[in-house]
Structure 1
Amino acid sequence: MKNKILFFPFLFAWLFVAGCSADDEPTPGDGDEKVDLPPAEVQAIDLNSYDNGSGVMMQAFYWDVEPRHGWWDLLSEKVDDWADAGIDRIWLPPASKGASGGYSMGYDPSDYFDLGEFYNQQTTETRFGSREELDNLISAAHANDIEVIADIVLNHNSGGGKQLNPYRGYETWTLFDKEHGNASSKFNRTYENFYPNSTSDYDHGSLFYAETNLDHNQEYVQNWLWAADYSVANFYKNEVGFDGWRFDYVLGFEDWVVKAWMDEVGGFGVAELWHGDPNVLEDYIEDTGVAVFDFAAFYKMEEAFDRFDDLTYLTRHQVWQTYPEKAVTFTANHDTEHNNHEDNTILPANKMKAYAFILTHPGYPTIFYSDYENEAFQEELNQLILIHNSIATGDVEVLYVDNDEYIMKRNGSGSNPGLILYINTSINMKARSNIQTNWDSTPVMDYSNNIDFMITTSEDGTVSLRAPANGYAIYSIME
């Protein structure tokens, strides 16, 4: 069942007539405009006193991280600060040994059970470090009440030995044993475990590594991946201590595989279904029960802020609108930044407006490591995370939208006041009057620290608010 959020993308004309009027380049207190300022004794609310039960995930890597063999130790030094900032999960790169050995980012899995313990693919440690260092990182995260999410690659294998595959009629790199890329000797594989084989001629048609796509219909493969006590899933959960799963490239195998994995071991689960159609993403949620990365929201933000420079795209169909508990929102990841294709990347100049969008709207937001470590972004991101975990709650109402202005209200819940987000992409400061708030005769201010502006709402809750040029403001009550 889809959980509908109050959302009004089709009321633009009505909002123009009945709701708001705008002034460009306003100056507080100048001209004919009357600004009702709060009394001097009023101050900002303490956002730390509000807890809406939300959290934020950190994608704790980027493509080709450095230093090699020292990544787990580096992250261990950061989890204390991340916990203080409001991060409740960290998503790690694939932790097992890949075909590229000490250079592998893990997306070419060779030995699922080698986490930096065996001399394999010309290295003992993975690119990220040793098994002991991974254990230390997970312990440090758990000590800070941070869950650790494993990146799981369930289809394309790499780094095995060459053998004749009679079902393809040529040699394939499909022999995985102690001497051929599988030093742990667990989950040995031959061509019989990949498509096609003696039990199935089905080939899912993966876009890459088609010759080493595992046949998940085989009981042997199922047992080693998730079904048996000795499986990868149970090893990662019960021995290593992972709390959940990010399923890589689920377009490469059947939906039921993820559901079977989750039924066996549970935990948090999110699928990388790289598809911009929200209907496809929602169907996957219904078929598997896991969350998805909200690529629909990502592309709507890219279109709104970059490609078309039109904020009305922010109101179009996205997964967080219908499945807020299953939509993992993001503005960047290791692939979008590494590939750097203009239609798959939100430009740095627009990143913070995009983060303001996902950190004030429903969904489970993800922060990309490289963005957080950017000195120009970190303080602002910390404030947005605080806002997200405190006053970003309640039903969503879009109060006004046009090509360069977007005003959204979260209605709050109980004693939680909620917020109003005002995004402005024009080169001028913007002001819009007759904005309907839930706060009658109440002083309000911007909690993003982007504009020094305070005002008192009218008796009926209406107010004139402002947003800085090419920026955003996030308003809530004062006390």
Structure 2
Amino acid sequence: MKILPEKLVTQKHLFVSLAFAVVLSGCTQQPDLSEGERAGQEPEGQYVISSREGLKTIGSGVMMQAFYWDVPEGGTWWNNVKDKVTDWSTAGIDAIWLPPVSKAHNGAYSMGYDPFDYFDFGQYDQMGSVETRFGSASELESLVNEAHRNGLNVIADIVVNHNSGGDAEDNIFTGGQTYTDYNPASGMFYRDMYDFHPNDYHSGDSRTFGGFADLCHHKENVQNWLWKDANSVARYYRDQIGFDGWRFDYVKGFEPWVVKAWTDEVGGFAVGEYWDGNAATLDWWTGEAGAGAFDFACYYRMRDAFEGNDLTRLGDDMLWKRNPMRSVTFVTNHDTDEIYNGKMLAYAYILTHEGYPTVFYRDYEEWLDKDKLNNLIWIHNNLAGGSTDILYNDNDEYIARRNGYNNQGIIVYINNSGSWQEKWVDTNWGSSVIKDYTGHSGWEPVTEADKRVKIEAPPKGYSVWSVK
């Protein structure tokens, strides 16, 4: 694979749309669950999308956000991530989400969200540097190849609401000068005042961002270069670089048909950053865009629950409860970090509930207990299937049952109080020995014939129960 805009390669594998499929886990760190039990599980109610040949099925595991805001400068990040993908894959990660990969206005200092040349991945001397903040084009190529060798899908961060770094031109639509004359060194996607708001198509866009030049997606030149043509951004990123899916930045800034048009053209997993805590609004957007959305409703309810010491908020409306197939859950990301004291409890929540969970790089690699996160990832991938019933909920305690497949499933008990708590609960297992798969409790109780059992959870902690 060569990342050269002058040459295109033939697509070897077709992307397909969202579909249900049997999920077989490649993670065998905990042998208590047999291969036969795992093979009987179907990923009902979560994101599942077929991938390129040899890769894991997106939605069968967990996504890793493989960066944070202001990662180290100096072009080392792609190599840093490359060194970690084998361990991540072994832990049960099925996809890595990278920051925007193309050259941006601030060159070697930019996190990529001020895009200038969509086809410069660190090989052209412009915007003050050759490499991007993250590294060179060849280092990106090596990272993608290594991720694919380990079965991981690679998700591109797509910033198509705005651009930055254009030259000044006399703009007939504003009556003054605007920085809307783009002449990228790659020779790809020249654009000018006609491609931005305001223009001859419409007078403006109510959702501009940060004073940046605002792309007009109704213009034919913009559509052709972003997704329609054979050398479009979408096709090039898929066929030449090897991206397997898309994370769309600031989708409030443009209409949802843009995301749908993109994925209709090139396929692939897609999730949008629609920053809104209203589950109904998120549900509407996913239907219009034909894509998933980060579950900000879940994020804000978890913040209220764990930081506000009110676990009743976990009973509130969230996208995963309305449409788990379209919900991508998260505890924090490069823009948000409002859950502090209860962060492990929040991960226990998203990694045992419906939706497609995301783990944040710094939480996994720096801030939290990696062994505990790996344990929850294993539980998610191997035990936490089926529909969800909330069994108990008050300010300090939350208990839910995942009903599983073939009589497996789990019961998760989250305890935000300062002491051990215990409760009798209804399970799906009659006269069965159960255990806490987190190891926090040493109990191995036997369920009653009527399927009831007493379980416990540690202070400021959690337990996850299933048949032994």
TM norm structure 1: 0.85
Match of 1:346 in 2: 339
State the shift of 1:144 in Å: 1.1
Q: Secondary structure at the match of 2:465?
A: strand
- One-letter code aligned to 2:152: I
Q: Secondary structure at the match of 2:224?
A: helix
Indicate conservation of the 8 Å contact 1:48/1:390, yes or no: no
CA–CA separation in structure 2 for the residues paired with 1:442 and 1:67: 55
Match of 2:54 in 1: none
Match of 1:8 in 2: none
Map 1:80-91 onto structure 2 (within 5 A).
80-91=86-97
User: Are 2:452 and 1:462 aligned?
Assistant: yes
- One-letter code aligned to 2:288: D
Which residue of the other structure, out of 100, 121, 135, is the alignment partner of 1:94?
100
Match of 2:201 in 1: 199
CA–CA separation in structure 2 for the residues paired with 1:331 and 1:47: 27
Q: Secondary structure at the match of 2:398?
A: strand
Note the alpha carbon deviations across 1:150-180, whole angstroms, 9 max, x for none: 0000011001112222322322211111xxx
State the shift of 1:45 in Å: 6.0
Change (3 A) 1:48 1:330: farther
Indicate conservation of the 8 Å contact 2:399/2:414, yes or no: yes
Note the alpha carbon deviations across 1:125-167, whole angstroms, 9 max, x for none: 1011111111111111111111000000001100111222232
CA–CA separation in structure 2 for the residues paired with 1:248 and 1:81: 28
Q: Secondary structure at the match of 1:374?
A: helix
Match of 1:368 in 2: 360
Structure 1 runs not aligned, ≥5 long: 1-43, 338-344
Indicate conservation of the 8 Å contact 1:156/1:209, yes or no: no
CA–CA separation in structure 1 for the residues paired with 2:104 and 2:33: 44
User: Are 2:329 and 1:329 aligned?
Assistant: yes
Structure 2 runs not aligned, ≥5 long: 1-29, 44-59
State the shift of 1:185 in Å: 1.7
Indicate conservation of the 8 Å contact 2:274/2:293, yes or no: yes
- One-letter code aligned to 1:319: L
Q: Secondary structure at the match of 2:157?
A: strand
- One-letter code aligned to 1:432: K
Match of 1:132 in 2: 138
CA–CA separation in structure 1 for the residues paired with 2:375 and 2:108: 37
CA–CA separation in structure 1 for the residues paired with 2:415 and 2:409: 20
Higher relative contact order (CA 8 A, sep 6+): 1
Which residue of the other structure, out of 413, 416, 427, is the alignment partner of 1:425?
416
Indicate conservation of the 8 Å contact 2:73/2:108, yes or no: no
Indicate conservation of the 8 Å contact 1:446/1:476, yes or no: yes
Note the alpha carbon deviations across 1:341-360, whole angstroms, 9 max, x for none: xxxx111x211100000000
State the shift of 1:286 in Å: 1.0
Indicate conservation of the 8 Å contact 1:157/1:213, yes or no: yes
Indicate conservation of the 8 Å contact 2:415/2:460, yes or no: yes
Note the alpha carbon deviations across 1:306-357, whole angstroms, 9 max, x for none: 1x311111011111112111100000000003xxxxxxx111x211100000
State the shift of 1:198 in Å: 2.5
State the shift of 1:402 in Å: 0.8
User: Are 2:461 and 1:471 aligned?
Assistant: yes
Map 1:110-149 onto structure 2 (within 5 A).
110-149=116-155
User: Are 2:401 and 1:409 aligned?
Assistant: yes
CA–CA separation in structure 2 for the residues paired with 1:315 and 1:63: 31
CA–CA separation in structure 2 for the residues paired with 1:325 and 1:313: 22
User: Are 2:427 and 1:437 aligned?
Assistant: yes
User: Are 2:382 and 1:390 aligned?
Assistant: yes
CA–CA separation in structure 2 for the residues paired with 1:385 and 1:67: 30
Change (3 A) 1:56 1:48: farther
State the shift of 1:455 in Å: 1.4
Q: Which has the larger radius of gyration?
A: 1
State the shift of 1:206 in Å: 1.6
Note the alpha carbon deviations across 1:247-269, whole angstroms, 9 max, x for none: 00001111111111111100000
Match of 1:187 in 2: 189
State the shift of 1:99 in Å: 0.5
Indicate conservation of the 8 Å contact 1:45/1:477, yes or no: no
Match of 2:214 in 1: 213
- One-letter code aligned to 1:454: E
Indicate conservation of the 8 Å contact 1:47/1:386, yes or no: no
State the shift of 1:395 in Å: 1.5
State the shift of 1:226 in Å: 0.5
- One-letter code aligned to 1:463: V
160-169 or 297-306: bigger deviation: 160-169
Match of 1:168 in 2: 174
Aligned residues: percent identity? 49
- One-letter code aligned to 1:232: V
User: Are 2:298 and 1:297 aligned?
Assistant: yes
Indicate conservation of the 8 Å contact 2:207/2:252, yes or no: no
Q: Secondary structure at the match of 2:336?
A: helix
Indicate conservation of the 8 Å contact 1:359/1:385, yes or no: yes
CA–CA separation in structure 2 for the residues paired with 1:204 and 1:266: 29
Map 1:446-457 onto structure 2 (within 5 A).
446-457=436-447
CA–CA separation in structure 1 for the residues paired with 2:61 and 2:33: 14
- One-letter code aligned to 2:418: I
CA–CA separation in structure 2 for the residues paired with 1:172 and 1:202: 14
State the shift of 1:201 in Å: 1.1
Indicate conservation of the 8 Å contact 1:157/1:209, yes or no: no
Q: Secondary structure at the match of 1:360?
A: coil
State the shift of 1:275 in Å: 0.4
Indicate conservation of the 8 Å contact 1:424/1:472, yes or no: yes
Change (3 A) 1:462 1:258: same
Change (3 A) 1:411 1:45: farther
CA–CA separation in structure 2 for the residues paired with 1:71 and 1:119: 19
Match of 2:392 in 1: 400
CA–CA separation in structure 2 for the residues paired with 1:81 and 1:97: 29
Map 1:221-260 onto structure 2 (within 5 A).
221-260=222-261
Q: Secondary structure at the match of 2:169?
A: strand
- One-letter code aligned to 1:309: N
Match of 1:60 in 2: 66
Aligned residues: 419
Match of 2:271 in 1: 270
Q: CA RMSD in A?
A: 1.4
TM norm structure 2: 0.87
State the shift of 1:48 in Å: 6.9
- One-letter code aligned to 1:255: P
Change (3 A) 1:48 1:194: farther
Q: Secondary structure at the match of 2:162?
A: coil
Q: Secondary structure at the match of 1:163?
A: strand
Q: Secondary structure at the match of 1:292?
A: strand
